[in-house]
Structure 1
Amino acid sequence: MGEVNICPKNQTEVDVAGKKLGCGQDKYGHSQYMCIPNEEKTALVEFCYNGVMGIEFKGSCLEASEGKVISKNCSSFAFGCPDEHVYKYEFFKYPACQYIDVQHRCYKLDPLCPPEQKWNNTDWNNTDDILTGISIFLGCMAIIIIIIVLWKMRRDQKNG
């Protein structure tokens, strides 16, 4: 089993990856190439499955565990979990089952998986961006205040 950064997203990419690994076909002519997360969800792994590419029940993702392929319930996912029975050779059609957070070791679409940080502490070290934003905001506020003051002065001169 080799680790990959992304899994194939369509049949053409599956065929290319399967050829690269030297995967054969099962007795029904289906590619035995698979790309799924490992059970720990620390990596996506690709390999040639040894056996018939059978059907998995709806509501399940596949994981690689100690040389075997196991099912994992995904019915709680926000979306993307197979909602019908699916052939193993068609799992590329369900990218939610490959969308993992390796830091938290979970499926990203699982509601129990912590949300990704949109920023980290190093973002705050870039004070130039922060100061620029503050300067623009204060400049706009100053212009608005000046316009209001001038408008009031002009109105008072006309009335007074």
Structure 2
Amino acid sequence: MGLSLQAQLCVVVFGIFLSSFIHLHEFRKLDGFEFPVYSTEYCPRNETEWEERSTAINCSDKNGYVCLPNKNITELLEFCYTIPFIWIEEGICLYLNKRPSIVLSYNCSQFQFGCPNATHKSFDLFENPECTTIKNGCFLAEPSCYSSPKPKV
């Protein structure tokens, strides 16, 4: 019986460790920004996820939640911005610059699909997932994102 109880205890401790690790990974705070910025695997895909993530990193009515790629389009970042929301123009995606820590625009008119065709607010970003779907330094909706890699010499 002792071994069974010990095994059960190990499973519980491992489960607590694993859930803590997953939580830390999801909200890994990054250095070098002028406000708290966290790395994330994906941006919210709907309003419920948006609200949950906003609450998890303590955003408020004065500093709204935003999830965007970094300047190099290599990592997704989530943060509470300095204002409640951002107006985003038609044909524009956004990214977060590090120094200074400001949101800048990226012209997405060359996207094959999914470039926003109307002005919208940043809290509706989940309705334009192509602006946060990235891989290897590009937006997946860009034709150049699918070009074959250069051969190694």
State the TM bucket, normalised to the shorter chain. Answer: 0.5 to 0.7
Q: CA deviation at 1:52?
A: 3.6
Report the identity percentage.
32
**How far apart are the structure 2 equivalents of 1:116 and 1:6?**
25
- TM-score, normalised with respect to structure 2: 0.68
CA distance in 1, matches of 2:148, 2:44: 23
Partner residue of 2:105 out of 67, 71, 86: 71
Structure 1 residue aligned with 2:21 = none
Establish whether residue 47 from structure 1 lines up as the match of residue 83 from structure 2. Answer: no
Q: Distance in 1 between matches of 2:119 and 2:94?
A: 13
CA deviations on 1:42-95 (whole Å, 9 max, x unpaired) are: 100000011141311100001010211111000110111100001111111111
For residues 75 and 44 of structure 2, what CA distance do their matches in structure 1 show? Answer: 15
How well do the aligned residues superpose, as a CA RMSD in angstroms?
1.6
1:18 pairs with 2:50: no
Partner of 1:112: 144
- Tell me how far 1:115 sits from its aligned partner: 4.3
Structure 1 residue 60 corresponds to structure 2 residue 92: yes
Deviation, structure 1 residue 36: 0.7
User: Aligned runs of 1:11-160 on 2, under 5 Å?
Assistant: 11-26=47-62, 32-66=64-98, 67-101=101-135, 103=136, 105-115=137-147
The structure with more helix, counted as a fraction of residues: 1
> What is the SS of the residue equivalent to 1:113?
helix
Change in Cα spacing, 1:116 to 1:36, as seen in structure 2 (3 Å) is: farther
Q: 3-state SS of the aligned residue for 2:93?
A: strand
Normalising by the residue count of structure 1, what TM-score does the alignment of the two structures yield?
Answer: 0.65
For structure 2, list consecutive stretches of 5 or more residues without a partner in the other structure: 1-36
After TM superposition, the runs of 4+ consecutive aligned structure 1 residues lying more than 6 A away are: none
User: Greater CA radius of gyration, 1 or 2?
Assistant: 1
**2:102 partner letter:** K
Cα distance per residue 1:16-46 (max 9 Å; x no partner):
00000000013xxxx7111110010110000
The residue that corresponds to 2:31 in the other structure is none
Give the Cα separation in 1 of the matches to 2:147 and 2:79: 29
Letter in 1 for 2:106: K
